[in-house]
Every structure is written in C-alpha cells, then in structure tokens.
Amino acid sequence: MEDPISDYELYLYFSSLPRFAEASLDWLPRDYEYAFGEGMDDESWWVTQGVKVFKEMMADEIASSGTQVTHIIPLSGGFDSRAILGGLLENLPKSKIVAATYGIPGTWDFEISKDIAHKYGIEHEIFDLSNDKWDIDQLIAAAESLRRPVSPYQSYVRHKINNHFGADCVYWTGFMGDSIGGWNLPNIPNTDKREAIKLFLNIEPTPNYKDEAFKSKIIEKILAEFPWDRLSRTKLSIDQQLNFCLRQNFLLQPTIVLSGFVFKTPFLNRNWVNFMLNAPYKLALDQYLYRKVIQECYADLWKMRSASAYGMPSSAGKYEMFFGKVIARLKPLFDSSDPYRSHPRTNYINWTESLRHKGYFQDTVYTTLVDLKKRAIIDPRDIDTWWSEHLNRRTDYTVLLMNLSSLELLLKAGVMA
C-alpha cells in the first residue's frame, strides 16, 4: 500500500493546505440559475452592460461601507487596484482615499503606483521593503493572525499597511478580480478532469519539489476526492472549479483578506460575479471583456503605464510593449543601485536573490530552517541540500525554501500541528 501524502508534503507542494474533499463555492456569491445576457453575443452590448454593472457595483460597495471613513487602497502597477481606484475617485472626495504601496524602488508596482497617486492628487503611503528586518516574532504574529496554513511572509507584508492605519478604516482588495475576469483560462475549456488537473498543476505547485510520481499521486487524490458531482451544478468549467475552489479559497483568500479588519472585495459583488461568469467564453479569455469594461469606465486611468504592459501605457501596441520588454531586461544589468539586479516585474522584493545574499531576510529564513531541522519532520539532509544548491545557483529553490521557513513559522504559531 502506498504511503499517504502528509499535510507537510501538501503544504510544501501547494504553499497552502488544500482539502480536496472540502472544496466549495459557498463563499462565491452567484445566482447559478440566473443567465445574464443569455444568447447575447454582441461585444458592444457586453461592454455597455459591464460598465453599468461595474459602476453600480462600486457605488453600492462604497455606500455600504460609509463615505465618512478613510478608504485604503493598496495600489500597484497592475489592473485590479487601478479599477478599484477609479470607482473610489468617482464616488468619494480625494481626502477620504489613501493609496498604499509596498515593494522596492525601481519596480513597476512601486514606481507606477507613485505616478498614479501623484496624477490624481491622493495621499500615498509607501512601504519600502529594501531593508526590512523580517523579524521572526512579527512573522509568527502574522502566522497566528492567519489561522490558516498559508505564507506568513505574504501576510507579514500586507499587515504592514493594516497595522499602520489601524482597524477604523475600510480596506479594499482586488481579490478574485483577475480570476473572475478570465485570467489563465485555456483557449478551449477542459471537459476531461484529468487534463484540467494537469493544467492546474502546471501553474500552482512549488517548482523543483517532488517528482512526476508524486504529481501522479496528487492527480489521483484530486480525482478521487474533489466533489465533482456537487460542483458541476455551478455551470463553471472544470478549470474554473479547480482554480476557485483550491487556489483562490485555500491559498489567496486567507492571505489577502486579513481577519480583524473591514475589507471590501468588490469583485465578489454578486452583480459583478453574475455578469462576468455569464459572459461568452470568447470574451472572457485573457481578461478581454474585463479590460474593455475598465477602459471604458476610466479612460484616463487606463492610459497610464501598467505592469501588465511591460511598463508601457495599457493602450500600447505590440511594438511599444516589445520596447518595454527590452528595457525591463536591460534594467537589472545597468542599475547599480539595486544589488540584487531585480527585474521591474519583481513582486515585493527579489525573494530569489535575497535568499542568496547576506542580510536580514537570509538570516530569518536560515534561522527558521535550522529550527525546522530539529523537528525531524523533513529530512535535514534534504533541507541542507536545497539550501546549498540554491545559494550556489545550481537550482532555484526559492519557493520551496520559503515554504519550509513558513512551515516552521506556522508550527511555532500553532497553525499547523
């Protein structure tokens, strides 16, 4: 009989602890029997309706949270936060809006968000992570607040904003904006469960951890445990079911929507969910309809530079985007102010190079790995090998090493047993 897959292996593989048999869409507000725009195939009709739904949705969400409180919007160089900002600017005085950005100077998220905040004259708080101390006690506190086995490092970064502004504000998040909008859908939706799982596992798991035999075990486990019959009644494709139920629910939601604070998740507004998930599949692909709607809603915001357009305006053509790609590739070679030679797309910090350079982050991760080895739940020789090969640039073990460190922090916090 094969050895069962342990919770530790699942966590290290998925960066979370998905319970396949408990997969559910109960948290996703949608009228599954309601067919918005049924039979309508005209793109202009869908864009017009989308603008109406999005603007009404933002007005309703703001009204329900109050116009006298301060509204905090984490602002990046991406798409979801920009869409939310457009709705806030349309419905609130600028004095009630504060943008917040975390990351390192020189990256698109960091620099583009500053440009946007300056252009629209809103207060902007910046959290520069370049020299953060990555305090272990604070990371454990972040893990305790999560109550779910996901990365304390991600939560630690997000808590900086919430701890700075306190619990009397309303916090906005773009959670599910990309996925509801059609992110990463295959050109043709999968009808074969096994193929859908393989596609999901090409995106989700930790690189360079385990082998094909383990992946096969995971595929069989999902096939056997995932509640296919119950979820098939939602009318969502198999690909969407796996993404929404496993990645979004078990990994992203507990990391992004922090407990103890008032969060607004506008992309989970029932009317918006009904609209986007009833749109023709061909319009949903690559977030095409979603982008068209936001472009129509907030044309000036849309014209500004975007991380998804390689630092160029969102309306840039393919030659401009190619130029943006070239600049992005050259930037790390000539920017002497960045010791880690970070790509402009870097999310928060350059985790890979931060692990390889002496400093607070490397010290924190190494210290937690030493403590984890003492528990003997993961072969200490494997941990030493992964650490050595990453530092010597033989293999990129960034995600695995951070998951191992996170596992120790979660054990210290009592979130995992």
Q: Is 414 exposed, middle or buried (0-12, 13-18, 19+ CB in 10 A)?
A: exposed
Q: How far apart are CA 399 and CA 12, in angstroms?
A: 9
User: C-alpha angle 93/99/104, rounded to 5°?
Assistant: 165
Q: Where are the beta strands (DSSP E) in 147-267?
A: 170-172, 262-264
Report the pLDDT value the prediction gives residue 2, as an integer from 0 to 100. 66
Q: How far apart are CA 111 and CA 304, in angstroms?
A: 12
Contact 410, 416 (CB under 8 A): yes
Report the pLDDT value the prediction gives residue 315, as an integer from 0 to 100. 81
Can you tell me which residue has the tokens 């790609």?
325
Q: Along the 417 residues of the chain, how does pLDDT read in single tens digits?
A: 467 899 999 999 999 999 999 999 999 998 877 788 888 999 999 999 999 999 999 999 999 998 899 999 999 999 899 999 999 999 999 999 999 999 999 999 999 999 999 999 999 999 999 989 999 999 999 999 988 999 999 999 999 999 999 999 999 999 999 999 999 999 999 999 999 999 999 987 999 999 999 999 999 999 999 999 888 777 789 999 999 999 999 999 999 999 889 999 999 999 999 999 999 999 999 999 999 999 999 999 999 999 989 999 888 888 899 989 998 998 888 887 788 889 999 989 999 999 999 999 999 999 999 999 999 999 999 999 999 999 999 999 999 999 999 999 999 999 998
- Residue 314 domain-assigned (yes or no): yes
Q: Which residues contact 112 (CB under 8 A, 6 or more apart)?
A: 76, 77, 304, 305, 306, 307, 311
- Residue 381 domain-assigned (yes or no): no
- Residue 50 domain-assigned (yes or no): yes
Cα 340 to the center of its chain, rounded Å: 23
Which residues are 342's β-sheet partners? none
Cα 413 to the center of its chain, rounded Å: 23
Which of 159, 265, 242 lies closest to 196, judged by CA? 242
Contact 88, 97 (CB under 8 A): yes
The runs of H, that is alpha helices, within 243-341 are 253-256, 270-278, 281-284, 288-297, 299-303, 318-334
Q: Which residues contact 370 (CB under 8 A, 6 or more apart)?
A: none
Report the pLDDT value the prediction gives residue 60, as an integer from 0 to 100. 96
Contact 318, 325 (CB under 8 A): no
- Positive or negative torsion for Cα 28, 31, 33, 34: negative
Token pair belonging to 129: 């992570």
Contact 57, 172 (CB under 8 A): no
Which of 124, 66, 114, 64 lies closest to 94, judged by CA? 124
One-letter identity of residue 306: S
- Residue 293 domain-assigned (yes or no): yes
Strands 262-264 and 71-74, how do they pair? unpaired
Q: How far apart are CA 75 and CA 111, in angstroms?
A: 11
Q: Any idea what the CATH number is for the domain that residue 218 is in?
A: 3.40.50
- Residue 373 domain-assigned (yes or no): no
The domain total for the chain is 1
- Residue 3 domain-assigned (yes or no): no
Q: By residue range, what is the domain housing residue 111?
A: 34-347
